[in-house]
Amino acid sequence: MIVAEQKPIEEVLKSIEPFDKILVLGCNTCVAVCMAGGEKEAGILASMIRLAREKAGKLVDVLEKTVERQCDDEFLLAEKELYDKVEAVLSTACGVGVQQLSALLQIPVLPALNTKFMGGTKDHGTWSERCSGCGDCVLELTGGICPVSRCAKTLLNGPCGGSADGKCEVNPDTDCAWQLIIDRMTALERLDKLLEIQPAKNWKTARDGGPRTQTREDVKL
Amino acid sequence: MKSGSHLERLLDKGTFVVTGELGPPKSVNREVIERKVGYLKGMVDAVNITDNQTAIARMSSVAAGVICVQTGLEPIVQMVCRDKNRLALQSDVMGAYALGIRNILCLTGDHQCFGNHPECKNVFDLDAVQFVQMVKTMRDEKKFQSGEEMKMEPRVFIGAAANPFADPFEFRVIRMEKKINAGADFIQTQPVFDLERFERFMELARKRNLHKRAYILAGVMPVKSVRALTYMRDSVPGVIIPEDAVERMGAAADGKEEGKQMCIEMIKKLKDIEGVAGIHIMAVEWEQAIPEIVEKACLLPRPPVEAPPELVETGD
Amino acid sequence: MAEFSPRITLFCCESCGFPAAERAVKQGYSLSPECRLIKIPCTGKLDVLYILKAFEAGSDGVAIAGCPEDACRYETGSLRAKNKFDKTRAILEKIGIEPERIKRWQVSSSMGEKFSRLLSAMEEELANLGPLFPDRLKKRGDN
């Protein structure tokens, strides 16, 4: 899922300051799972905004709605009449959803979240980065543990000198991805694979090659 | 002869070499480098010039290396993958060579979170193994990393680092082997405080015949106080400080003297380990200590610097 | 200003907080007409949103009356309530509302006297703080 967290409320309040009528639009997919921008979180945010603005003596009319996914026009267009009633939309989707909606509207669409990474649930309330979408997956070579997203230096040929007791030098709470890879490859009896030199990576398939678009002719209507 | 550098020629002859370390200033002052060279000249055979070490912005290692060349001490110019992509690294290797630099140490680089610009974007386009491979390809195949040919190649002596004190221990030798397979001519290790662990590391290296395939220089570091020692133990990743070293420093009346003495003793022990081709002394901001250490470790006099052999230049 | 009687929403656990309130009344405590008791199965079920909604709906204060932490019949309910309480307090502070407007009490069903004491103290504190939204007070007679 895409993992995000809510922006500080002060920042949100500042961004909606000029408006007297807004729509808080939740997204019920990734950001609902990571408890940042689903229906419940959008509701709390809307309530916080109403209270804060009333307390500050500047009442605001806050509409609330949550759609299944903000990254698809079909869900966004279904709420068309709501957008006409407000001066701005505060989206609790990831950065994708904000942009998807923004492209459809003539009014400002403001982000309520900071979008962070693609990750999985580690335990309740903890999510960890697992993929950086480099476009050329190496998991086959590394025992199913991604050094591109999980090594602080994106090393492809083994751990740096800062790996100690299985932890990364950058953050003692973070596992050293290469320790995990070595342990896993040892368990799989494939450690010898790690002696092979992985050549310089082709970053063209990643963000470095420019913004990416994927087109599937076979599924086009 | 790959590069004809003084360091290479000495190692080739079987001389037990001594290298030092010089951190460029956090300013434009070339006198800092000249002063430090003054302490080191005649005491070490070559000196590492650090590249924005611990991610602190300093004078470029290539520029400081050139000042070293001009001052008459052979530099080993360090370059890290943190700040430069393959374009910039190749460009620096070529530029360094053109300015008379003959030894390059290819490193991954400390993470920027440790430095004075923790908010910067890092690069890590390559890792150290790939960097070594790239320089070797430039030198031996006269090709850029992309495969494009170059007319005149950088004939540099290629170095890499090994850290026997980081984890996982067994993989440390494998990683050194990868660097040697990639083309490293010499290896410098992180400073040894835990001799027992270093001996096990060298034993594994010898089993894989790595000491015959590259020159391994053992790192040492004189420490000024027990505080500095415990700081290293607690706060510097990938360093192991045994308890008896801390106790000894703690009990010493004069920390600086004891630190030098411990360093000297360590060098003498390292010299006897099979496969150790030299010593790399990392006296960070304490270059003045090097002459005494080198002398008392019976490493003087250093062999004279001879004129480099004529390299056949082959293109433009 | 005429004497201000604060409006308080009390979220009461059906096992402890609510019976304690009933007991207080039986013991002669006179519950202010501005107090609204909401019986819930467990204060652990309470959500930040419900508390904020109570303020939005015009409460000057919110109290959560649950079981002692070690006496929750659902084991972790009171602890969950504590998390929600802490989180809500932090939110109130951030949006400029006095965090004293929310209280969390641990009362067992027999503690009628403690309940009335805590509620009286809260009413007094809120009376001193004044209404959450003074502008609304004028309209209060309407509903």
Chains that touch C (3 or more CB pairs under 8 A): A
Residue C129 forms contact with A (CB below 8 Å): no
Q: Whole domain around residue A85: which residue ranges?
A: 2-117
CB A105 within 8 A of CB A88: no
Residue of C nearest to A41 (CA): C49
Written as one letter, the residue type at A82 is L
Structure token pair of residue A103:
């492209």
Is C142 a residue whose pLDDT tops 60? Answer: no
Please give the Cα distance from C32 to C116 (Å, whole number). Answer: 11
Interface test with C, best of A13, A17, A51 (most C CBs within 10 A): A51
User: Is A47's Cβ below 8 Å from some Cβ in C?
Assistant: yes
Question: C60 and C137 in contact (C-beta within 8 Å)?
Answer: no
Q: If you count them, how many residues does chain B have?
A: 316
Final residue in a domain of this structure, among A53, A84, A117? A117
Query: pLDDT tens for residues A53-91?
Result: 999 999 999 999 999 999 999 999 999 999 999 999 999
Backbone CA torsion sign across B190, B191, B193, B195: positive
What CATH code would you report for B6-296? 3.20.20.220
**Which residues from A are below 8 Å from C76, CB to CB?**
none
In a domain, C93, yes or no: yes
* Residue A106 shares a structural domain with residue A162: no
End-to-end CA separation in angstroms for chain B? 21
- The answer to whether residue A126 is domain-embedded is no
Nearest to C34 by CA among C127, C118, C96, C107: C127
Give percent above pLDDT 90 in chain B: 94
What is the per-residue pLDDT across C99-118, written as a single tens digit (0 to 9) for each? 999 999 999 999 999 999 99
- Of A117, A141, A162, which residue sits at a domain end? A117
CA A204 to chain B, closest CA, distance in angstroms equals: 11
Percent of chain A scoring above 90 in pLDDT: 99
Using CB atoms within 10 A of its CB, is residue B196 exposed (0-12), middle (13-18) or buried (19+)? exposed
Helix (H, G, I), strand (E, B) or coil at B121: coil
Question: Is A125 within the bounds of a domain?
Answer: no
Q: Is the pLDDT of residue A157 over 80?
A: yes
DSSP structure class, residue C13: E
pLDDT at B150 over 90: yes
Q: Is residue A127 part of a domain?
A: no
Interface test with chain A among B107, B114, B127, by most A beta carbons within 10 Å: B127
Contact C132 A44 (CB under 8 A): no
> B37: which 2 tokens?
């060279």
Please say whether the beta carbons of A2 and A71 come within 8 A: no
Of A117, A150, A177, the residue at which a domain comes to its end is A117
Instruction: Note every long-range contact of C123-131, with CB atoms under 8 Å and residues 24 or more positions apart, other chains counting.
Output: C123/C5, C123/C6, C123/C8, C123/C32, C125/C100, C126/C6, C126/C8, C126/C60, C126/C61, C126/C101, C127/C3, C127/C4, C127/C5, C127/C6, C129/C6, C129/C60, C129/C98, C129/C100, C129/C101, C130/C4, C131/C4, C131/C6, C131/C60
Contact residues on chain A for C55, CB-CB shorter than 8 A:
51
B310 versus A129: which is more confidently predicted? A129
A136 touches chain C (CB under 8 A): no
Element holding B191 (H helix, E strand): strand B186-191
Which chains touch B (3+ CB pairs under 8 A)? A
What residues have CB less than 8 Å from B231, skipping those under 6 apart? none
| Alpha-carbon torsion angle B50, B56, B60, B64, nearest 10 | -50
Q: Decide if A170 and B181 are in contact by the 8 Å CB cutoff.
A: no
Mean pLDDT of B81-96: 98
**Are the beta carbons of C133 and A56 separated by less than 8 Å?**
no
Is C3 part of any domain? Answer: no
Contact check, Cβ <8 Å, A43/C49: yes
Q: Are A43 and C55 inside 8 Å of each other by CB?
A: no
Q: Are residues A137 and A111 in the same domain?
A: no
Does B314 score more than 80 pLDDT? no
Q: How many domains does chain A have?
A: 2
Indicate if the pLDDT at residue B313 is higher than 90.
no
Contact C47 A54 (CB under 8 A): no
The secondary structure element, H or E, covering residue A66 is strand A61-67
Domain match, A113 and A143 both: no
Q: Is residue A93 part of a domain?
A: yes
Q: What is the mean pLDDT of residues B89-98?
A: 98
Provide, for chain C, the percentages of residues in helix, strand and coil under a 3-state DSSP scheme, each rounded to the nearest 5. Answer: 50, 15, 35
Is the residue at A218 inside a domain? no
At residue C4, does pLDDT exceed 80?
A: yes
Give the per-residue pLDDT at C137. 77
Contact in structure between B8 and B2 (CB atoms under 8 Å): yes
Helix/strand/coil for B19:
strand
CB contact under 8 A, B134 and A200: yes
> What's the complex ipTM?
0.93
Measure CB to CB from residue A163 to each of B133, B145, B166 and give the nearest one. B166
Burial of B308 (0-12, 13-18, 19+ CB in 10 A): middle
pLDDT of residue C143: 47
| Of the partner residues C47, C56, C135, the one whose CB lies closest to the CB of residue A51 | C56
**Which tens digit of pLDDT belongs to each residue from B155-187?**
999 999 999 999 999 999 999 999 999 999 999
Interface test with A, best of C49, C94, C132 (most A CBs within 10 A): C49
User: What pLDDT does residue B307 have?
Assistant: 75
User: How many CB pairs below 8 Å do chains A and C form together?
Assistant: 38
Say what the pLDDT of residue A203 is.
Answer: 97
Tell whether A89 and A35 lie within a shared domain: yes
Q: Is residue B201 a contact partner of residue B164, using CB atoms and an 8 Å limit?
A: yes
Q: Residue window 57-96, chain A: list those with CB within 8 Å of chain C.
A: 57
List the CATH number of the domain containing A64: 3.40.50.2300
Does the pLDDT at position A129 exceed 70?
A: yes
Q: Rounded mean pLDDT of A21-30?
A: 98
Measure the CA–CA gap between C106 and C17, rounded to whole angstroms.
Answer: 8
Query: What's the longest Cα–Cα distance across chain A?
Result: 68
d(CA B269, CA B117): 39
- Whether residue B301 is preceded by a cis peptide bond, meaning omega within 30 degrees of 0, is yes
CA B293-B297-B302 angle, 5° bins:
85
Give me the helices (H) in chain B, please: 6-13, 30-40, 61-71, 86-98, 128-141, 169-182, 195-207, 210-213, 226-235, 243-251, 255-271, 290-296
> Is C2 a domain residue?
no
Q: Which residues of A touch C47 (CB under 8 A)?
A: 40
Shared domain check, A141 and A91: no
Task: Please check whether residue B191 is in contact with residue B225, taking contact to mean a CB–CB distance below 8 angstroms.
Answer: no
The reply to whether residue A195 touches residue B113, judged by beta carbons under 8 angstroms, is no
Q: Kindly state whether residues A92 and A139 are assigned to the same domain.
A: no
Write down the domain spans for chain B: 6-296
Give yes or no for residue B312 having a pLDDT over 80.
no
Per-residue pLDDT averaged across B230-240, rounded? 89
Q: Give the CA dihedral A66, A67, A72, A73, nearest 10 degrees.
A: -90
CA dihedral C37, C40, C43, C46 (to 10 degrees): -90
- Does A10 share its domain with A95? yes
CATH number at residue C116: 3.40.50
Report the C-alpha gap between B311 and B2 in whole angstroms. Answer: 9
Q: pLDDT band for position B311 (50/70/90)? A: low
**Does C52 contact A44 at a Cβ distance shorter than 8 Å?**
yes
- For residue B150, give both structure tokens: 């170059």
Per CB-CB distance under 8 Å, the chain B contacts of A165 are 167
Residue C13 touches chain A, beta carbons under 8 Å: no
- B126 and A CB contact within 8 Å: yes
Residue C103, classified by CB atoms within 10 Å of its CB into exposed (0-12), middle (13-18) or buried (19+), is buried
Contact A48 C52 (CB under 8 A): yes
pLDDT band (50, 70, 90) for residue B316: low
Question: Domain residues for C72?
Answer: 8-140
Q: Which of residues 149-168 of B touch A (CB under 8 A)?
A: 161, 163, 165-168
Domain count, chain C: 1
- Looking at the structure, tell me whether residues A161 and A195 fall in a common domain: yes
Q: Is A105 a residue whose pLDDT tops 70?
A: yes
**Does residue A217 lie in a domain region?**
no
Q: Which residues of A touch C54 (CB under 8 A)?
A: none
Burial class, B284, CB count within 10 angstroms (exposed 0-12 / middle 13-18 / buried 19+): middle
β-sheet bridge partners, residue B234: none
- Number of Cα atoms under 13 Å in the Cβ half of residue B121: 4
Band of pLDDT at residue C1, cut at 50, 70 and 90: very low
Per DSSP, chain C holds a count of helices (H) and strands (E) of: 5, 4
Q: Which of A157, A166, A194 sits opposite B167 (nearest CB)?
A: A166
> In this complex, do B125 and A200 lie within 8 Å of one another by their Cβ atoms?
yes
Q: B100-142: per-residue pLDDT in tens?
A: 999 999 999 999 999 999 999 999 999 999 999 999 999 999 9
- The answer to whether A43 faces chain C, any CB pair under 8 Å, is yes
Q: What percentage of chain C carries pLDDT values higher than 90?
A: 85
User: Over the Cα atoms of chain C, what is R_g?
Assistant: 15
- Residues of A with Cβ-Cβ distance to B174 under 8 angstroms: 158, 194-195
pLDDT in the model for residue A221 = 81
- Say if A74 falls within a structural domain: yes
